[in-house]
Amino acid sequence: MKLPPAWRSMVAGLAAATLVILGPAGPASAATTIVDNATAGGFTASANWGTSSWSSQRYGADYRFATPNTTASDVAWFSATIATAGSHLVEVWYPADAGYNNATPFVVVTASGNQSVVINQRSSGGQWVSLGNFNLAAGTHTVVGVSRWTSGTGYVVADAIRLTSSTGGTAFSLPLPKSALPRSEYDDPHHDYPAIDLPVPTGTRAYAVRGGTVAIIDDSLCGRGVNLTGTDGAVYTYCHFSSWSVSNGATVSPGQQIGLTGNTGNSTGPHLHFGIRTGSTRRCPQPFLLAVYDGVTPPAATSLPTSGCSYTSLAAATVQPLG
């Protein structure tokens, strides 16, 4: 089912303003820096860290590994040159294996001090994994470390990092990795009210579509989910997570991982339910999502349609409920 002609005109008529699509939602922008463990001057580690090329999920020619240590951190550090101070999406790449650590501490050196993010390196390997958005200081310095200090079991792995500046201009993101679904899935109607169901496997990363504040949802209908109150005042709802990646009340940036998709709540199959609301009015999210997918500035939430995006309002459509 495709969008009505009037909606297609809305999307086609959007000004082709430059849009920063952060992290996995689209191609890396010019303000992106990648540091591999083999980058000259970009990586330091003690002799306790070995080198391996065993896994085909590695980023470059090899990666570094070490056994856990509960008495010393012995951090392997990635360094980079930050051209402009401000918010950056920080991502890491590592090979995953059942023998790798299930609680690897990554240390991000922010402008206000170090922050730790724990990653399970037994899953999500061979791709960029978001640690979140952080304010980084300008200059050349250590940015991300991988610590051996963990009670988890298995090798801790340091392979590569990616930093994407989100300073300068409004930024938006798709709610899922762009590779997860084709464009055609973003104009499908919902089954009975303005919203959209995006069919993806359990464990697919879900991202904040814009900056804002998160409120956790945990009930029998939505299951595990979040209400993201955007900086525009609109509420962006995500349902049926298998788990959350943020805490209640957290401030998030566009493209920051907020959860993993699943099949919780009133759901008949794994998918992400996504909706937009202004006040008490539900809005059709399809024009917003199509614009972000195409790399143009999306329409304001208050201008999104309030009907025409559900099967109940499209009499000729076949009902295909997901929940």
Fold match between 5-19+171-313 and 32-165?
Answer: no
Q: Looking at this protein, which amino acid is placed at residue 40?
A: A
The residue length of the chain stands at 323
Nearest CA-CA partner of 185 in 320, 36, 22, 298: 320
The first and second tokens of residue 82, run together, are 């930050």
Q: Which two tokens stand for residue 137?
A: 């200081």
Mean pLDDT for 57-73 is 95
179 backbone dihedrals φ, ψ, rounded to 5°: -75, -10
Per-residue pLDDT tens for 24-64?
Answer: 444 333 368 999 999 999 999 999 999 999 999 999 999 99
User: Which band of pLDDT confidence, cut at 50, 70 and 90, is reported for residue 8?
Assistant: very low
| 7: enclosing H helix or E strand | helix 5-12
Contact 95, 137 (CB under 8 A): no
Phi, psi of 25, deg, nearest 5: -70, -15
Reading the block at residue 162, the tokens are 């990616």
Token pair for 321: 């409920």
Question: CB under 8 Å to 165, separation ≥6 — which residues?
Answer: 29, 31, 32, 82, 83, 84, 86, 87, 88
pLDDT tens-place string over residues 267-312: 999 999 999 999 999 999 999 999 988 877 888 999 999 999 987 6
CB 22 within 8 A of CB 166: yes
Helix (H, G, I), strand (E, B) or coil at 102: coil
Containing 217, the helix (H) or strand (E) segment is strand 212-219
Domain locations along the chain: 5-19+171-313, 32-165
Res 121: pLDDT: 97
pLDDT beyond 70 at 318: no
Does position 161 have pLDDT exceeding 70, yes or no?
A: yes
pLDDT score of 25: 41
Exposure of 215 by Cβ count < 10 A (0-12 exposed, 13-18 middle, 19+ buried)?
A: middle
- If you classify domain 5-19+171-313 with CATH, what class do you get? mainly beta
CATH topology classification for 32-165: Jelly Rolls (2.60.120)
d(C-alpha 10, C-alpha 69), whole Å? 57
Q: Are strands 20-21 and 171-172 parallel, antiparallel or unpaired?
A: parallel
Q: Give the pLDDT confidence of 190-230 residue by residue, as tens digits.
A: 888 999 999 999 999 999 999 899 999 999 999 999 999 99
Determine the Cα–Cα distance for residues 247 and 5; give it in Å rounded to an integer.
40
Strand 139-146 and strand 171-172: the pairing is unpaired
Q: Is the pLDDT of residue 12 over 50?
A: no
- Residue 95 has what pLDDT? 97
Half-sphere exposure of 177 (CA within 13 A, CB side): 16
